[in-house]
Structure 1
Amino acid sequence: MTSLDHPRLSGLGRNPAAPRDVQVRLAAHAVGRHGISLRRGRLADAVVEALLTHGDKETAVSLHGERLSPAMRRRFAEHPDPAIRDAYPDFVRDMVDLGVPIGIAALEEAYGRPRTALAGAPIPRLRAAVARTWYDRPLAAQVGLLADPDRQVRAAATEHSQPGVPPEWRDRCLADPAVRVNVARYVPLTSDQFARLIRSGDEGVHQAVAENPHLSAEMVARLLDIDDPLVRVTVTHSRHVDAETRDRLYALVEAERADGSIDAEVALNWNFAEPDWLRDAPLNERMTYLDCPYATFRRVLASCCDLPEEAWRRLDNDRELKVRRAAARRPDAPPEVLERLVRAHGDVFHIRPLLVDHPNFPRHTLRTFVDEPSPNVRYVALQDPELPVASLQQLAVDAEPFLRRGVARHPNITEALLEQLLSDADPEVADDAAANSALRPSSMYRILTAAGL
Structure 2
Amino acid sequence: MRRRDLLQAIGANPSAPADVLLRLLADEASEPWDRAAWVMWRGEFPEEVVDAIVAHPERRIRMALAENGLVSGETRARLIDDPGKGVRLCLAMGPNLFRIQSPSLPEWAQRRLIDDPDEMIRSEALGSYYTSRELLAGLAEHEDAHKRSAACQAWDLLGAAARARLLADENDDVRGRAARYASRDDPDATDIYIDYIARSDSPSYSYEDVLKQALIHRSTAERLAREGTSTERAAMAGNPHVPKEIAQSLATDDEHRVRLMVASRPDLSEDERATIDYHVRVEDRLDPLFWACELVNPVEIRRFARSANILIRRSLAYNKDLPQDVIDLLGADDDFPVRILLCENQPTVDGEVVLDVFLNWKSVVSAALQGHPNFPRGQLAARFADDPDEHKRWLIYNDPTAAADVVLKLSHDPNVNVRRSIAGHPNLSPERLAELLRDPDDGIAERAARNSSLPPEAMRRLLDELDVSDLQGRPSTDAA
In the superposition, the TM-score normalised over structure 2's length comes to 0.65
The question of whether the paired residues in 1 share the 8 Å contact of 2:248 and 2:262 is answered with: no
2:190 counterpart residue number: 170
Alpha-carbon distance in structure 2 between the residues aligned to 1:331 and 1:59: 35
Once the two structures are superposed, the pairs formed by residues 122-141 of structure 1 within 5 Å of their partners are: 123=119, 126-127=122-123, 129-133=125-129, 134=131, 136-137=133-134, 141=139
The one-letter code of the counterpart of 2:83 is: D
Q: Deviation at 1:184?
A: 1.2
CA apart distance, 1:387: 0.9
The aligned counterpart of 2:244 is 217
CA contact (8 A) 2:213 2:241 kept: yes
The structure whose RCO (Cα within 8 Å, separation 6+) is larger is: 2
Q: Look up the SS of the partner of 1:37 in the other structure.
A: helix
CA distance in 1, matches of 2:32, 2:408: 29
Give the match for residue 370 of structure 1.
Answer: 385
**Structure 2 counterpart of 1:58, which letter?**
R
Distance 1:157 1:129 in 2: 19
- Counterpart of 1:59, as a letter, is I
Please point out which of 223, 237, 240 is paired with 2:267: 240
Whole-angstrom distance in 2 between the partners of 1:150 and 1:95: 30
Aligned partners of 2:404, 2:235: CA distance in 1, in Å?
55
Cα distance in 2 for residues equivalent to 1:362 and 1:186: 41
Name the residue aligned to 1:260: none
Q: C-alpha distance in 1, partners of 2:358/2:59? A: 49
- Quick one: which of 7, 16, 26 aligns to 2:5? 7
1:30 Cα deviation from its structure 2 partner:
0.9
Whether the 8 Å contact between 2:436 and 2:445 is mirrored in structure 1 is yes
User: Match for 2:406: what amino acid?
Assistant: S
Give the drift of 1:351: 4.1
**Could you tell me which of 410, 418, 421 is aligned with 2:433?**
418
Whole-angstrom CA distance in 1 between matches of 2:222 and 2:61: 56
User: Is the CA contact (8 Å cut-off) linking 1:12 and 1:444 kept in structure 2?
Assistant: yes
In 1, distance between residues paired with 2:219 and 2:208? 16
Moved more, 437-446 or 169-178: 169-178
> With structure 1 as the length reference, what TM-score do the two structures score?
0.69
Distance 1:449 1:157 in 2: 61
Matched, 1:45 2:48: yes
2:83 is matched with 86
How far 1:315 moved relative to its partner? 5.9
Instruction: Show the 5 A alignment for 1:49-448.
Output: 49=52, 55-62=57-64, 85-87=82-84, 89-93=85-89, 105=104, 113=112, 123=119, 126-127=122-123, 129-133=125-129, 134=131, 136-137=133-134, 141=139, 144-145=148-149, 146=152, 149=171, 151=173, 167=186, 169-177=189-197, 178=200, 180-250=207-277, 269-274=284-289, 276=292, 280=296, 283=299, 286-287=302-303, 290=306, 293-298=308-313, 304-305=322-323, 307=325, 318-323=333-338, 341=356, 345=360, 348-351=366-369, 354=372, 356-357=374-375, 363-364=378-379, 366-398=381-413, 403-448=418-463
The code of the aligned residue for 1:136 comes to R
Note the alpha carbon deviations across 1:211-269, whole angstroms, 9 max, x for none. Answer: 53544422421332432122222332212334455345445x69xxxxxxxxxx89x71
Instruction: Say if 2:15 is the partner of 1:20.
Output: no
SS at match of 1:239: coil
- 1:444 Cα deviation from its structure 2 partner: 0.9
Structure 1 CA distance, aligned partners of 2:389 and 2:30? 39
The alpha carbon displacement at 1:407 in A equals: 2.2
Q: Which is further off, 106-115 or 179-188?
A: 106-115
Query: Which structure 2 segments of 5+ residues have no match?
Result: 142-147, 153-165, 469-480
Paired residue secondary structure (2:43): coil
Distance 1:340 1:100 in 2: 29
- The letter for the 1-side match of 2:429 is T
Mapped to 1, the partners of 2:113 and 2:30 lie a distance apart of: 35
**How far off its partner does 1:176 sit?**
1.4
Q: For residue 447 of structure 1, report the CA deviation from its aligned partner.
A: 1.1
Aligned residues: 413
1:107: how far off? 10
For the 8 Å contact 2:424–2:447, the answer to whether it is kept is yes
Residue 414 of structure 1: how far off its partner (Å): 1.9
Change (3 A) 1:286 1:390: same
Are residues 273 and 434 of structure 1, via their aligned partners in 2, closer, same or farther at CA, if it must alter by over 3 Å?
same
* CA shift in 2, pair 1:394/1:157, >3 Å: farther
Given that 1:42 and 1:68 are in contact with CA atoms closer than 8 Å, whether structure 2 keeps it comes out as no
Give the Å deviation of 1:385.
0.9
Residue type matched to 2:231 in 1?
Answer: G
- Structure 1 residues 226 and 379: CA distance shift in structure 2, 3 A: same
Aligned residue for 1:227, secondary structure, equals coil
Deviation at 1:434, TM superposition (A): 1.4
CA distance in 2, matches of 1:411, 1:13: 17
- 1:285-341 Cα distance to aligned partner (Å, 9 max, x none): 845864x55544455678843649xx96x7665544445567889898778x65984
Identity of aligned residues (%): 21
Distance 2:137 2:39 in 1: 38
Aligned to 1:450, which of 465, 468, 477?
Answer: 465
Q: Which residue of 2 aligns with 1:257?
A: none
Does structure 1 conserve the Cα–Cα contact (< 8 Å) formed by 2:380 and 2:398?
no
Measure, in 2, the Cα distance between the counterparts of 1:124 and 1:46.
30
What is the Cα deviation at residue 369 of structure 1? Answer: 2.1
- Preserved CA contact (<8 Å) 2:358 2:367: no
TM superposition shift of 1:446: 1.9
Deviation string 1:383-406 (CA, Å, 9 cap, x unpaired) is 321211233234334566654443
SS in 2 for 1:230: helix
